[in-house]
Structure 1
Amino acid sequence: MAKCYVCGRRASVYVSYLGDYLCSEHFAEYFERRFLEAVRFYKLVERGERVAVAVSGGKDSLTTLYLFSRFAGELGVEVFGVAVDEGIAGYREYKLEALRSLAGRLGVEIIVGSFKEYFGFTLDEAVKALREKGFKVKPCSVCGVLRRYVMNHAAREAGADKLATGHNLDDEVQVFVMNALKNHVEGILREGIVSERAEEGDLVPRIKPLYFIPEKEVLAYTLIRNIYTPFVECPYIVYALRHPIRHWVNEVEDSSPGFKYRVLAVKELARKTARKPSRKPSRCAVCGEPSSRPLCKTCLYRAYLDERYRRVVEEKVGKLRFSTYGLE
């Protein structure tokens, strides 16, 4: 029987990159210590701030909400959750149920914004339109852009100083690999433990307190702390490039423990040494939100999916040629 290297009791978790076993109590302490160390070392929050936690109902976001709620007094912050209802039948309702259950247990306020409320259509309706158009753009791409819009807008309207997300080590490594495969240098340079995109006042700065914590450890922590997360996957994951990348990264990690940390170290080195393109903050000509282009991706996708909104956009920016954006 494996024993905890701290106290000698029966071990519950094996931390492969350390080569050590830990019991439930000492693993939870180790996990929480790493969360607090990341928050303090990188100055992710300041005392007196209002922190919004982006919560999907999955294990990572619920863990982030739980941790900020647990240590809110110690960190001197006020915490609330922001969720997005994309309108995915047979999926989102289960996640929101788990979220509301944990929020009630913690006594934390949850604000929910929906695609239907913001854009006039659900993701299911958007996917139907995308299918009719031949899937020139993947559902995950549209969902990601629209989710970020709703999340930022809802957090900003609620007076958030920071927007914390549940991105963990695995997420960061997978995104880095995908950006490298796509030669998306800007994406690599932009995304760190603190968002580099908060130069405009309307963008709530995003922070990632689980940035250095592996996905398996997050799962173990949810089991130890009784954070219930329904095991249901988004039905549109089959369209994502991320799925095979995730499988490959995990295979390499299993054969070479510490691989994910080495990849993250390469990413951080690239971010620190590369020359970041200087770009003046600008705004979308249609919605007025911060954007690096005259027409933000949110408005582009809305126009692509909704003929009525397309007319609104074209009144302000002229005739849209979707082929220019690779959508036709």
Structure 2
Amino acid sequence: MGRTAKCFVCGSKAVAYVPYLGEYLCKEHFIEYFERRVYETLRSFKLVAPGDRVAVAVSGGKDSLTTLYLLRKFSGRMGFEVFGVAVDEGIAGYREYKLQALSALAEELGVRIYVGRFEDYFGITLDEAVKRLKEKGMEYKPCSVCGVFRRYIINKLARELGATKLATGHNLDDEVQVFVMNALKAHMEGIEREGIASATVGEGLVPRIKPLYFITEKEVLTYTLLRGIHTPFVECPYIVYALRHPIRRWINAVEDEAPGFKYRILAVKELSRKKLPEAPEGAQKCRVCGEPSSKPVCKACLFRAYLDPGFAGRVERLKLISGSRD
């Protein structure tokens, strides 16, 4: 941004350039623009309704904190309740700092936060799980195990707390990255499923919504800085194992060369989803834990059996592992 850039609304000193508008904005008008876009997303796509009890999946990162902040801000106007659900995976030197930031914001907002821990649900921390994965030759990546366990806890916790909606902090960059990864793996069901809201859900699954669906990661970061929403800049030590990492770098490089690339990819994603048949509902229940699953044994129980010989014996006795690993 040039030193003389001015806000195109009021002419005062600009703090950010917004590619979506093709204009510069000052602090006041950037915040107004950002909040209006999220509010209109909630309203236009009917993501929330009066009487909803919305659980916000919060990690302590900038996206989930922003989602919690804005849903709390809009809750009175739109007539819904808000609380937070968080997960402590047991990642030393990382998760405790994120949870501290979450606790501070929640106290400021007057929002209750409920925390589920890997150790309580699965008898193992992620740090311990990674050690076992390495011993087994890293057949599965830490992010795969973590993602499955996190989704399991968040859905179960939100449901048990009476949530009618589960809001996540996924932004436009996240959606584009996941779409590209699904396309590379020819995972059509994943492309169909990953929309702004869950179109169909099975018994026991809390409907998901994504208020930041059309907001870029850079815009979210700008908003948190201007609003004073603090999150520690610590990175998960296991990100080096994630496929998303190189995909993110490539997409950002193309965006720098061809501004608007991310919006075009999102448009391709939405057009693709309309052409695909609806993904089947997760109608059945896992025969081990009773949680929603698309197969006789859910992925969380399969990963737990892989990591824990004792639990594996229990599943084997039920003769359930065979044919459930795909």
TM over 0.5: yes
Residue of structure 2 equivalent to 1:54: 57
SS of 1:317's equivalent in the other structure is coil
State yes or no: 1:162 paired with 2:140.
Answer: no
289, 306, 309: which one aligns with 1:307 = 309
Identity %, equivalent residues: 68
What displacement does 1:275 show? 2.3
Residue of structure 1 equivalent to 2:132: 129
Q: Which whole-Å CA distance do the structure 2 matches of 1:93 and 1:160 have between them?
A: 25
Q: Name the amino acid aligned to 2:269.
A: K
What displacement does 1:18 show? 2.4
What does 1:62-211 align with in structure 2 at a 5 Å threshold? 62-200=65-203, 202-211=204-213
What displacement does 1:312 show? 1.5
SS of 1:87's equivalent in the other structure is coil
Distance 1:208 1:258, change over 3 A: same
What displacement does 1:282 show? 1.5
Residue of structure 1 equivalent to 2:245: 243
Q: Which whole-Å CA distance do the structure 1 matches of 2:282 and 2:190 have between them?
A: 17
What displacement does 1:17 show? 3.4
What displacement does 1:112 show? 0.4
Say if 2:188 and 2:276, in contact at 8 Å, map to a contact too. no
Residue of structure 1 equivalent to 2:278: 276
Q: Which whole-Å CA distance do the structure 2 matches of 1:14 and 1:297 have between them?
A: 43
When structure 1 is superposed on structure 2, of 295-304 and 190-199 the one drifting more is 190-199
Q: Which whole-Å CA distance do the structure 2 matches of 1:105 and 1:280 have between them?
A: 37
SS of 1:247's equivalent in the other structure is helix
Say if 2:60 and 2:101, in contact at 8 Å, map to a contact too. yes
220, 228, 231: which one aligns with 1:229 = 231
Please give the TM-score of this superposition, normalised by the length of structure 2: 0.96
Say if 1:197 and 1:203, in contact at 8 Å, map to a contact too. no
Say if 1:195 and 1:207, in contact at 8 Å, map to a contact too. yes
SS of 2:82's equivalent in the other structure is strand
What displacement does 1:325 show? 3.5
SS of 2:292's equivalent in the other structure is coil
204, 211, 214: which one aligns with 1:212 = 214
Root-mean-square deviation (CA), in Å?
1.4
Say if 2:170 and 2:213, in contact at 8 Å, map to a contact too. yes
Q: Which whole-Å CA distance do the structure 1 matches of 2:64 and 2:144 have between them?
A: 20
What displacement does 1:44 show? 0.5
Q: How many residues align?
A: 323
Q: Name the amino acid aligned to 2:296.
A: P
Distance 1:279 1:25, change over 3 A: closer
Q: Name the amino acid aligned to 1:232.
A: V
Say if 1:138 and 1:239, in contact at 8 Å, map to a contact too. yes
Uncovered stretches (5+) of structure 1, i.e. residues with no partner: none
Say if 2:202 and 2:292, in contact at 8 Å, map to a contact too. no
What displacement does 1:315 show? 2.1
Q: Name the amino acid aligned to 1:59.
A: K
What displacement does 1:276 show? 2.8
Please give the TM-score of this superposition, normalised by the length of structure 1: 0.96
Q: Which whole-Å CA distance do the structure 2 matches of 1:128 and 1:248 have between them?
A: 30
